[in-house]
């Protein structure tokens, strides 16, 4: 909203109003704003949750420090959602298709988690929202996101078209410790495409349309169905992965913040012709505006850590965890980096896999040998380390370190081909 106000002031030649045209300036204010909002309203929301006796119900699983968490306010994800949405509405361009997409996804995913928490806390149903309804909600979000990204005419990429009559561009490359200069004639052409980034490949790109090229005149429609299915699967998986990770104080929040910083860099370079050209990655027009949203996301996560770090004063609940994972997945599709998720979101992936392995192996051994056996002392994986008497704060710190390493490796994939 403030973007349009300052644009109007700039037209009136008000000194300094033009600074709001810079994405980096607005992103910085979105980050600061989300931090301030989370800290100010966070305390008030926690007090309100305490008055409503919205406390965590903890089952005794023999984990260190678990009983002390009994009664800690939950549904704190409301703090994160407010810290993301308010700065985005204030500082982003609201006519941008990517911003519209992220606002819709954030609200819907937060609503699914809120309903789940509401049933657990106020209806005294420990199971919360039935799994099938939760999945249906995530599938619905996936369909909306997939349709917007696939069919909306504003979602395009610009690709290089090489032509002798095109402008000459000079590029520099380091070879054998010497800088080599080369000239190339190309121009940027705007196209509607399903191309995405794939790691370790020579051209670093993969086009979903190649999966349905055999369908002839039906390839576009069939390609849309395939793309939407992929969006549904990845969004649901990452959302549930973040939910699984949210078991220790600050674990899911800190991990999400690290992932958010990485995605902010991807959004900035993908929306800037100079950096996209230098890194030889696809240029996505208008995607730079996403930097403002993800800056608010990172600020919201860090601000929430003020209250969620060990020992936690509040838990995010499914209101926060389902939304965080889903936002990361949808954002990754927007900047066409979703195939990097297994590496970037490696913590979420491992947590998810640990549960699947544990349940699958238990059922298999029980059916075959009559007695179920376990691979881990307890799943998800962070509870395995708790069972080994490792302190909660140390587990979280080490997971964060691994998350930073995975983020750096994700950056490396842009040039490692």
Mean local confidence (pLDDT), 173-195? 68
**317-334 and 219-245 helices, crossing angle to 10°:** 140
Whether 347 shows a pLDDT value over 60: the answer reads yes
Whether 12 shows a pLDDT value over 90: the answer reads no
In the 3-class helix/strand/coil scheme, how is 299-362 assigned residue by residue? Answer: HHHHHHHHHHCCCCCCCCHHHHHHHHHHHHHHHHHHCCCHHHHHHHCHHHHHHHHHHHHHHHHH
Phi, psi of 370 (to 5 degrees): 85, -5
Mean local confidence (pLDDT), 268-273? 89
Over the stretch 149-172, which tens digit does the pLDDT of each residue have? 999 989 988 876 666 666 666 665
Residue 160 has, within 13 A of its CA and on its CB side, a CA count of 18
CA 329 to chain centre: 5
Location of structure tokens 């800690």: 72
Name the DSSP class of 235.
H
Q: Which residue has the higher pLDDT, 3 or 180?
A: 3
Over the stretch 211-243, which tens digit does the pLDDT of each residue have? 888 888 888 888 889 999 999 999 999 999 999
For residues 406 and 255, what is the distance between their CA atoms, to the nearest angstrom?
Answer: 11
pLDDT over 70 percentage in the chain: 88
Whether 63 shows a pLDDT value over 70: the answer reads no
DSSP per-residue letters across 162-221: E-TTSPEEEEEEEETTEEEEEEEEEEEEEE---EEE-TTSSS-EEEGGGGSGGGGGGHHH
Name the DSSP class of 58.
-
Of 325, 206, 353, the closest CA to residue 259 belongs to 325
Over the stretch 189-199, which tens digit does the pLDDT of each residue have? 778 888 888 88
């Amino acid at each position: 909203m403030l973007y349009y106000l300052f644009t109007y002031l700039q037209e009136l030649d008000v000194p300094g109003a033009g600074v709001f045209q810079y994405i980096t300036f607005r992103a910085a204010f979105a980050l600061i704003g989300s931090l301030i909002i989370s800290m100010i309203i966070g305390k008030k929301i926690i007090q309100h949750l305490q008055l409503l006796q919205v406390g965590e119900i903890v089952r005794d699983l023999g984990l260190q420090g678990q009983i002390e968490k009994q009664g800690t306010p939950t549904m704190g994800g409301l703090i994160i959602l407010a810290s993301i949405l308010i700065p985005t509405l204030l500082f982003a361009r609201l006519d941008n298709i990517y911003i519209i997409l992220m606002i819709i996804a954030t609200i819907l995913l937060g609503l699914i988690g809120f309903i789940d928490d509401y049933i657990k806390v106020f209806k005294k149903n420990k199971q919360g929202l039935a799994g099938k309804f939760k999945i249906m909600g995530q599938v619905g979000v996936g369909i909306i996101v997939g349709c917007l990204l696939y069919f909306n005419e504003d979602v395009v990429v610009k690709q290089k078209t090489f032509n002798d009559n095109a402008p000459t561009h000079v590029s520099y490359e380091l070879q054998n410790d010497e800088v080599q200069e080369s000239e190339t004639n190309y121009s940027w052409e705007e196209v509607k495409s399903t191309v995405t980034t794939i790691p370790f490949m020579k051209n670093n790109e993969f086009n979903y349309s190649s999966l349905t090229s055999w369908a002839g005149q039906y390839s576009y429609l069939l390609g849309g169905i395939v793309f939407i299915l992929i969006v549904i699967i990845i969004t649901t998986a990452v959302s549930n992965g973040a939910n699984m990770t949210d078991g220790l104080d600050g674990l899911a929040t800190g991990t999400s913040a690290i992932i958010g910083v990485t995605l902010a860099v991807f959004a900035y370079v993908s929306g800037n012709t100079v950096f996209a050209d230098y890194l030889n990655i696809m240029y996505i027009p208008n995607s730079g505006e996403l930097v403002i949203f993800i800056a608010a996301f990172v600020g919201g996560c860090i601000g929430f850590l003020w209250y969620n770090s060990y020992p936690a004063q509040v838990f995010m609940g499914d209101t926060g965890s389902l939304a965080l994972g889903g936002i990361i997945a949808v954002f990754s599709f927007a900047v066409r980096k979703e195939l990097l998720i297994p590496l970037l979101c490696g913590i979420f992936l491992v947590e998810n896999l640990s549960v699947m392995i544990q349940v699958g192996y238990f059922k298999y051994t029980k059916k075959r040998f009559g007695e179920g056996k376990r691979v881990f002392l307890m799943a998800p994986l962070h509870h395995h380390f708790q069972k080994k008497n490792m302190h909660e704060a140390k587990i979280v710190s080490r997971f964060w370190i691994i998350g930073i390493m995975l983020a750096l490796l994700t950056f490396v994939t842009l040039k490692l081909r």
